[in-house]
Amino acid sequence: MKSKIFIIMLGVILIASCSSLISDNTGKKTQSSSLMDFLYPNQESRAAHKPEIPVLTLPVKVGLAFVPSKNWQRDGIHSKDQMDLLKKVKKSFLKYDYIDRIEIIPSTYLNGGEGFSTLEQVGRLYDVDVMALVSYDQVTQSLENNAALLYWTIVGMYIIPGNENSIQTFVDTAVFDIKSKKMLFRAPGLNKLEKRTTAIGIDDTLMEKSLEGFGLAVSDMTINLEAELAQFKARVKEEKIAKVERREGYSGGSISYYLLLFSLFMLVNKNGCRKFS
């Protein structure tokens, strides 16, 4: 009788510890990159920061990159996945005529850098005026719940632990003018995923859902980003958040330009009609 009680107690203990024995991903895990830590690596840099009124030369050249995490080699987003996610963000910028081109920049170029000085170096390297920096914070939690099952079979005890897995993802794109160090606008994105698995399925599930969570959060962010990009011209004009210059040959799709084309078209048609009248 005592041996049977001991076996039952041992089984209960195994249920509580089975997931942690099978996987290192049980409990609460976080992977993140901090925009503040990257731009202002120390207290002195934060105190010395005095942003200027930016002077934007239209159409602007934009660099797009993930902010590297402190432990990026161990648990950050894989570089290939970063590139795929940034391509989704890039599409938001391509719709606007005041943007010349968008360069996707690997986060390795920013890793170990010193904030704005690194942005200036990358800006010169890629010939961009503005940097869109994507930071992230993803919290993964895998906890055993009451769905854990203990079966007695003819061959012995069989354990099926039930794990509740949740992944919460936050991403944020902050757009900076490199020269003035001024943030022009930002756009956040959120997502939460939940899925129940057995202990054996934790690693594969969390890896799959982690990337899915980033993809959905970026999709949510691009909606907000497009809204900010659409309002940017109006904010420059009404709120005076930046001064604007134009590159040689850039008209910006102004109304006068289209009126000129329309006038020329009407003049040609009018003269043509007179010839045949």
Cis peptide before 41 (omega within 30 of 0): no
Three-class SS of residue 258? Answer: helix
103: buried, middle or exposed (CB in 10 Å: 19+, 13-18, 0-12)?
A: middle
What whole-number distance in Å separates Cα of residue 172 and Cα of residue 77?
A: 15
Of the ranges 26-30, 128-132, 248-252, the best mean pLDDT one: 128-132
pLDDT in tens, 141-163: 876 555 454 444 444 544 555 56
Q: What is the pTM of this model?
A: 0.74
What whole-number distance in Å separates Cα of residue 129 and Cα of residue 56?
A: 8
pLDDT in tens, 243-276: 888 887 776 644 334 444 444 455 545 555 444 3
What whole-number distance in Å separates Cα of residue 60 and Cα of residue 97?
A: 9
Q: Does the pLDDT value for residue 232 go beyond 70? A: yes
